[in-house]
Each structure stands twice: as C-alpha cells, then as structure tokens.
Amino acid sequence: MTPNDDNSRLPLNERPFRVLIISGSDRRQYNCPGVDSKSRMLMLRMAEKLPQDWEIDVEDLGNVFARARIQSCNACASTAMSLCVWPCNCYEKDNKDEPDLMWDLDLYARLDLADAWAIIGPVNWYGPTSNLKLMFDRLVCMNGGNPREDLIEHKNPELAMKLEHSPEWKALALNHLEGRSAGFFCYGDDAVEERDASGRPRYISAAHAHYFNPDDEPKDQRETYAPLVWQSRFSGIEVPDALWHYQSFGSGRIYSDTQAEHMAQDAAFLSEFDAWTARFAGFVAAKGKVLPGRYRAYGYQPPAHRWNEVKLWWRDKSMRAGHAPQGSSPRVQEELGLNRDVVMSPQKSEGERLRGKAR
C-alpha cells in the first residue's frame, strides 16, 4: 500500500502498519558510479514481499548529481544535550546555503511515522556507508533531544548549558522514537579478490606486508553495522539479533561482475534475504503498532527565530573579535589558551592560516 501520512491521525487500531525501507548504498546511476546499487534492488524486492495491506515507504540515500546531501552532525549534544534539538534544527528544509537531504526528504517525519525500519546496505571499509553513518549521526536528537528550542533561543549554547542543569530538563529529555523496531541487512564480498594466498591485500608491497595481519582482522562482518544497531538500541528502538544479518556476496569476483543483475541470479543469496524479510514481517506483525511519542517529528513546524538569529549573529561576531560571552565555555578556553580560535574568517582552514604565517 502506498503510504498516506494522514493515516497517522487515525486511532491505532484503524491505521495500517507502516514500514520505512532504506537503501543505504551511496551509489546511484545518476552520478559518477553510473550504475544503481544492489541495496536499491533489495529495497524494492523487500517492498514487494511485505504484506501489501501495510503502508510501505521506501527511500534511496544514494548520491544524485547536484542533489542535497545529508549534512554532517555538528555534535551539539557534546556542548549540552539540551542544545541538540528534536528534530534537528542545525539545518532546515530547502535551505540554499546548507542544503540538507534529511530535511528535504522529510526523513525525520517518515522515521516517526513508521512502526519499523528496514536498513539495507553494503559494508564499506569495515563499516556502514557514509550516507547511513551521516543519517544515524543526525539521529542523535532522537535520543534525549530538546523538543523546546524556544527555551534556548533557537541555538544559544549558554542557555542550553543552563537548561541542562535544571529540573525542567529531566521531563523534556526523552527517546522520541522509542518502541519502534529496526532490522539491518548488510552484505559484502570480504575483499577476497583483492587478497593474496596469505590473506593479505595484494596491493601491499612486500616491505610493508607485516602492517596487515589477516589473523587479527575483524572476523564477523555483521559487526560492521554494530554502531548503528547499538545507537538504535540505546534510543529504545528494538533490534532483535535475528533481524541483524550479514550475507556474503560476490566473494572472489571483481567488482564489475558483482552488480545488481548478478545478485538477482544468485538464488542462495536471495533465499537468505527473503528469509530475513519474512523474519522482519513476522516480528513487526507480532509486536503490533507503535504509539507516537509526546513530541512528534511528523507535523512539526519550526518556530520563527529571526530575532534569536540576530542575537546569535552578534555572538558570533563578538567571538571573532575575541570577546566571547563572560563566563562562557569559549571565554574560559580563550583565557586558558586552549583552542586559540579567535579569527575573523573561520571559513579559512588551519592549514591556510598556518601556511600564510610561513610566507
């Protein structure tokens, strides 16, 4: 069934189940790779095999030329958890200065609307893809994020630090997507074709072969997605072990021989994927629909904050001139000579400034 966001307003027993399937590969045929990913094929296959009376939402995070990217997390939570706003207010929809795919695709709302998420992606360099990692980094706000940006004047770090110490904060810091379920299906070829008989990468010269010991290499490729799984579990999202799965594909073949059309001919691989899909569907159906949280991303309208932006602009200009707010963390760091970050043009890199001094 095509997803209908208005169904979220129906009583729980009347609305259909809703699932969001995400293809986490960075590849799309409309960019440098020139070929669509295997995870996209698997996303579409899963959508066809899930119960068709469910709402099946799908999204491909692959890079498309000139389309917005998922912007990186600014780590506001490390300044104060209350500075990390739910849903993320570091970026906004249709912003020309910092276009952000998370907002442009309404991913916060769609993750909120779903009872369960299915994440499908390859293993890239012993870990998940860049786009999946970016998405989950930006989901730090689902775990204890501040749903009341008005209390911190949009993004004032001093007010956020104060709020984090207040009794009021304990009632606001919630797991906003708690209760949902997530399944993770990752795949890879273990780089067998790129190894010599000893298991070492065949590109490594003999002089440096001792840098890589295949006996010490991570063995369980499923663990490459552990950061995403444990972030979900930490945030109250259930990831049963049976729905966290790695499957090898294309082992020993060169990359050009391991495309989606080759995977579609691998009956053993598809059988494992379909079995994972069936386990996912069975678990979601048995668990039941998820009640929405107190503060929803669906239907969220960012409050106006023009005056607060003016005040933050003035804070920024003052700090560039070496006048951080009295008693603030930047002022203390300044006085202790820790970060030495008083500059009029912060866009200029440290390397540029360093080389400028040398000349």
pLDDT of 233 reads 98
Confidence of residue 41 (pLDDT cuts 50, 70, 90): very high
Contact of 137 with 72, CB cutoff 8 Å: yes
- Say yes or no: 203 and 326 in one domain: no
Among residues 303, 324, 343, the one where a domain terminates is 303
- Say yes or no: 131 and 160 in one domain: yes
Angle made by CA atoms 90, 311, 336, in degrees to the nearest 5: 80
User: Does 358 have pLDDT greater than 70?
Assistant: no
pLDDT (tens digit per residue) in 177-219: 999 999 999 999 999 999 999 999 999 999 999 999 999 999 8
- Say yes or no: 351 and 245 in one domain: no
pLDDT of 354 reads 85
- Say yes or no: 131 and 214 in one domain: yes
User: In whole numbers, what is the pLDDT of the chain averaged over residues?
Assistant: 95
User: What gap in Å lies between CA 271 and CA 276, rounded to an integer?
Assistant: 9
pLDDT of 356 reads 83
DSSP string, 52-75: TTSEEEEEE----TTS-BPPPP--
- Say yes or no: 239 and 353 in one domain: no
- The residue type found at 326 is Q
Share of the chain above pLDDT 90, in %: 92
Residue in 168, 49, 67 with CA at minimum distance from that of residue 120? 49
pLDDT (tens digit per residue) in 63-94: 999 999 999 999 999 999 999 999 999 999 99
CA dihedral 119, 121, 126, 131 (to 10 degrees): -80
Cα 158 vs. chain centroid, distance in angstroms? Answer: 27
pLDDT of 251 reads 92
User: What gap in Å lies between CA 46 and CA 185, rounded to an integer?
Assistant: 11
pLDDT of 68 reads 95
Total count of domains within the chain: 2
Token pair recorded at residue 307: 């005056």
- Say yes or no: 220 and 309 in one domain: no
Cα 264 vs. chain centroid, distance in angstroms? Answer: 27
| CATH code where residue 131 lies | 3.40.50.360
- Name the β-bridge partners of 56: 19
Average pLDDT over residues 269-296: 97
- The residue type found at 265 is Q
- Say yes or no: 124 and 185 in one domain: yes
- Say yes or no: 56 and 12 in one domain: yes
pLDDT of 359 reads 57
Contact of 221 with 187, CB cutoff 8 Å: no
List the domain range (segments joined by +) for residue 333.
305-359
Contact of 20 with 111, CB cutoff 8 Å: yes
- Name the β-bridge partners of 23: 60, 120
Phi and psi angles of residue 181, each rounded to the nearest 5 degrees, phi first: -120, 155
pLDDT of 347 reads 86
- Say yes or no: 338 and 283 in one domain: no
pLDDT (tens digit per residue) in 217-273: 998 999 999 999 999 999 999 999 999 999 999 999 999 999 999 999 999 999 999
Average pLDDT over residues 19-29: 97
Bond into 16 cis (ω within 30) = no
- Say yes or no: 211 and 310 in one domain: no
Average pLDDT over residues 149-163: 97
What's this model's pTM, rounded to 2 decimal places? 0.94
Bridge-based pairing state of the strands 18-23 and 116-122:
parallel
Among residues 303, 322, 351, the one where a domain terminates is 303
- Say yes or no: 240 and 280 in one domain: yes
Q: How many helices and strands (H and E) does the chain possess?
A: 12, 5
pLDDT of 353 reads 86
- Say yes or no: 168 and 143 in one domain: yes
Bond into 302 cis (ω within 30) = no
pLDDT (tens digit per residue) in 96-137: 999 999 999 999 999 999 999 999 999 999 999 999 999 999
pLDDT of 194 reads 92
Confidence of residue 1 (pLDDT cuts 50, 70, 90): confident
- Name the β-bridge partners of 185: 120, 245
Average pLDDT over residues 129-153: 97
